[in-house]
Amino acid sequence: MGFVVYLLLTMAFAGGGISGQGPPEAAGAHKGSAGDGLLSAAELERKTGAYLFYHQSYIDSENKKVIYDGSIYGAIQNAELKGCRLKLDVLIVDLFSGTAGKTRVENAEDIQSYTIDLPLTREIADGLTLVAARPIQLKRNTNSVCRENRSCALAWLQIKARKPVIKETRTTNQFVDFDGYVESLLIPISGEDAGKQFIGQMKSYTQGNCDDR
């Protein structure tokens, strides 16, 4: 049932979907087929997403025995391409049920959303990589075991720059907990093949349309 809930959350947070034009007078701002390919890759991620189902058992900071069954869902929810800037909205949802001490927890959720605005430079495009890592929600001390793989790792697109030029606004359960510039970040991706396609489209667009200043 958890994944069905996530699909509904995905639709709820999708907003206006994938856009390359903004206002009508800005149509064509993404400069042709390479931009269309990048936006199509983002749209595919919006429809697919990455997910894990987990079981965890640990002692929390209040010395309570915690046992949860849950699922993690993460995906790009919106993409806007304007010239040589790419803006992405990313959603990560942790839905879980179980017990914390003697308290029953039913369908609790933690929702993290990220708005990322980055310049499309050749340095950033050439440095794009895929990594496998646990979501922060499944830290080692939670003794999490996942149905899909024992490592509980998701695929992530790693974006890096030499300087903090990537604008990130991060919200957890509707409270902004970070708003500033970073040098690197991770975006959940549905798998290795999809990640390679996304990287290829970003490189193609950047190399064909964007000169580093």
CA–CA separation, 206 and 121 (whole Å): 6
Angle at 188 between CA 187 and CA 190, to 5 degrees: 140
**DSSP-H helix ranges across 14-155:** 33-48, 122-126
Structure confidence by residue, pLDDT tens digits, 121-147: 999 999 999 999 999 989 888 999 998
What pLDDT is stored for residue 140 in this prediction?
83
pLDDT digits (tens, 9 = 90+) for 46-87: 999 999 999 999 999 899 999 999 999 999 999 999 999 999
pLDDT tens profile 16-34: 455 554 433 333 345 556 6
- Count how many domains the chain has: 1
What is residue 149's predicted lDDT score, i.e. its pLDDT? Answer: 83
Number of residues that this document lists for the chain: 213
Q: How far apart are CA 56 and CA 100, in angstroms?
A: 11
Mean pLDDT of the chain: 86
Band (211; pLDDT cuts 50, 70, 90) = confident
pLDDT digits (tens, 9 = 90+) for 91-100: 999 999 999 9
From CA 75, how far away is CA 88, in angstroms rounded?
Answer: 10
- Its domain, for residue 14, covers 2-209
Reference 11, options 47, 41, 53; nearest CA is 47
| Strand (E) or helix (H) holding 3 | helix 2-13
pTM recorded for the entire structure: 0.81
10 vs 69 pLDDT, higher one: 69
Does the pLDDT of residue 113 top 90, yes or no? yes
Q: How far is CA 5 from the centre of its chain?
A: 18
